[in-house]
Amino acid sequence: MYIAIEGIDTAGKSTQIDALKNHFPDAIITKEPGATEIGKEIREMVLSAKAKSKKAEFLLFLADRAEHIKEVIEPNINDKIIISDRSAVSGVAYALIQGEIDKKELVSLNNFATNEIYPQKVFLLKLTKKELEFRLSQKELDGIELRGSEYLLNIQDAIIEATKLLNLELVTIDATQSIEDITMEILNNIE
């Protein structure tokens, strides 16, 4: 089974993936972008902000996604549990926010990059504005977080829209719950 843990910054994706490792010690734990050798280079290119075109940036992410599917997902999808920190869903969500690529083209390009292999379940750790702002106030902010809570909440909404566009099963979980309750809700939806 291939699942993705999605959510905006501070939602608790890493915490939940660590908890799931304990329940599934043989699982393949991966992430997008940057899980492959080429993916690491692409991630560095994108983070360096050298690309002036949002379309070029999007195509770099598609290249990472294609490599990730080929190297990590396809070889393991039939006999392992794959738990991914983000997936094509995030890529589509960020592209939706930028608004430079038509929705049909967005889906078509992702279908091409992934061979139409997507997570069988997507778990969205959803934050309220109040909780997000509290969590942001407790840490040093990175470049994305500095864009503010409204931007991040728009991304959260775009993640929901992306799962609909890609026709994926979405399980929305209240990320303000305890770590243990969130883990239990994910486990109840996997098994």
Would you give the DSSP letter of residue 27? P
The confidence score (pLDDT) of residue 183 equals 97
Question: Residue 125: enclosing H or E segment and its boundaries?
Answer: strand 121-126
Please report the pLDDT score of residue 17 as a whole number.
97
Looking at residue 100, its pLDDT comes to 87
Q: Could you tell me the domains of the chain?
A: 2-190 (3.40.50.300)
Model pLDDT for residues 57-72, shown as the tens digit of each residue: 889 999 999 999 999 9
| pLDDT bracket for residue 35 (50, 70, 90) | very high
Percent of the chain whose predicted confidence (pLDDT) is above 70: 98
Question: 77-106 in b/e burial notation, b at 16+ Cβ within 10 A?
Answer: beeebbbbbbbbbbbbbbbbeeeebeeeeb
For residue 32, the one-letter residue type is E
What is the model's pLDDT at position 138? 87
Summarize pLDDT for 102-161 with one digit per residue, the tens. 999 999 999 999 999 999 999 999 999 999 999 888 888 776 767 778 999 999 999 999
